Structure 1
Amino acid sequence: MQPENRSGDQKRSFIEDARRSQIVAATIATIAEIGYAKASFVRIAQRAGISPGLITYHFAKREELMKQVVLTVHDSMDQALTARTENADGYVSALRALVEGFVHYCAEHPAELVAIGQIADAARDAEAARTWSEEQNARTLTELEDMFREGQRAGELREFSPRVMAVTVLAAMEAAPAELWARPDTDVSEYARELADLVERAVRAA
């Protein structure tokens, strides 16, 4: 008899959470190595050293597993960026910490960025993950806009369109993973500092 799939909202044990984390990590590594299209449950199971049936026990559909990969990477990124920005002493300082933190996260987690990038661009069975990624992007833009408006009201940032600046800054940040992947000899600290300098000059009040 097939065990009941536990991929829904049922309360999971510590062991089940650990197994799901193992599967997600194996999925990230598999996509980074052979690409999204070839990352079948069989290949992921081989990477994790488990049976394909154990994956379907935790994730009934490939789409569900891919969405969990996106959620896991974004949660990890949010935690890393929060740690960098929480002690900032102003809007410019917080923005610099955000930009530099993102670049360093990309450099330290290349496989994760490759995986979620391929999932976001992938075919029909990643629709839920892609939709979630688009929603996350919209939330990030809104948060940047709010930050810029608050900084302008505080007199720390110059007058500009918060929406235009948010789109521009996010696009510059999102270009970092591909650049670092294509040029592995890049000085990450210098890249992060230069990008933060550009953003600061664009927003700081005279």
Structure 2
Amino acid sequence: MSDKKSKPTHGAGASVSTPTRGRPAGDPEIKRKELLRAAASVIAREGYAKASLRTVAQYAGHSTGAVTYYFANKEELIVALLESAFDRFDAMLESVREKGDIRLLFEHWLQLNERNTRFWPATSELLAQGRYEPVFAEVIARRYAQFRKIQTSILKEAQERGSVRCDIPADLLADQLSAMGDGWMLMYPVEPKRFTAKRIRALIDAIGVLIAPAPGAQPAPGSRSPNAG
């Protein structure tokens, strides 16, 4: 079905076709990301409950049909938004692995809201919804488990190099560090003035002290000495 009726030309009964109804113009992937950004902005400003497909469409400057072309319902939209948030976390971890400095993760983590003011408020709202929506809980649990697994492997590599303390197993250390990051994420939207550039630097430096090798500490089970061949 077309947006407009085909009009006959002045030729031999030929007609001019029009675009198919419902398919938004432009690059589909770009359009999809645009709608996800709009959804994050609505949630960050007005909360999860008010983020209807119509509101997201209005915020993005599109019709509701443009949203439902990509996302059948609100649940599907929110799942996509959660997946995209964890994709960003995974990208941060890969950057940390390349540099070999776990403190970079928290530097990216704490400075993320400076680069994208809607990210932490929206993400904290969505994580809270995991308590009530099993579909969201499944995504959060699955992707968070993947995040901790990657973070644990990075910490193990750092322990083997001797740059991270070995007296705490890497998986426990990953859980502890993740809890710290989660706490900051939850409080950032509530107390944005507390997280000044100076305080962020101090927090990152404190992490460096906390994870530094303890003098005379025994290696954690399963890790090897930094001097091992």
Q: Normalised by the size of structure 1, how large is the TM-score?
A: 0.80
User: For 1:45-194, what aligned pairs fall within 5 Å after superposition?
Assistant: 45-79=57-91, 82-83=94-95, 85=96, 88=99, 90=100, 94-122=101-129, 127-158=134-165, 159-194=167-202
- Take 1:165 and 1:80, find their aligned partners in 2: how far apart are those partners? 18
- Take 2:132 and 2:55, find their aligned partners in 1: how far apart are those partners? 17
Cα gap change, 1:197 to 1:123, in 2 (>3 Å): closer
Instruction: Tell me if structure 2 keeps the 8 A contact 1:5–1:60.
Output: no
Instruction: Tell me if structure 2 keeps the 8 A contact 1:28–1:115.
Output: yes
How many residues get paired? 196
SS of aligned partner of 2:129: coil
SS of aligned partner of 2:49: coil
User: For 1:9-28, what aligned pairs fall within 5 Å after superposition?
Assistant: 15-28=27-40
From 175, 193, 204, the equivalent of 1:196 is 204
Instruction: Report deviation, 1:74.
Output: 2.8
Structure 2: gaps spanning 5 or more residues: 3-19, 216-229
SS of aligned partner of 1:24: helix
Cα gap change, 1:155 to 1:124, in 2 (>3 Å): closer
Cα gap change, 1:131 to 1:110, in 2 (>3 Å): farther
| Equivalent residue, structure 1, for 2:47 | 35
Determine which structure has the larger helix proportion and give its number. Answer: 1
Cα gap change, 1:121 to 1:185, in 2 (>3 Å): closer
Deviating 4+ runs (over 6 angstroms): 2-6
Structure 1: gaps spanning 5 or more residues: 7-12
Superposition RMSD in Å = 2.9
Deviations 1:33-66 (A, max 9, x none): 1111111111111111211112111111211111
Of the two, which has the highest radius of gyration?
2
Alignment identity in percent? 23
Q: Normalised by the size of structure 2, how large is the TM-score?
A: 0.73
Residue type of the alignment partner of 1:48: A
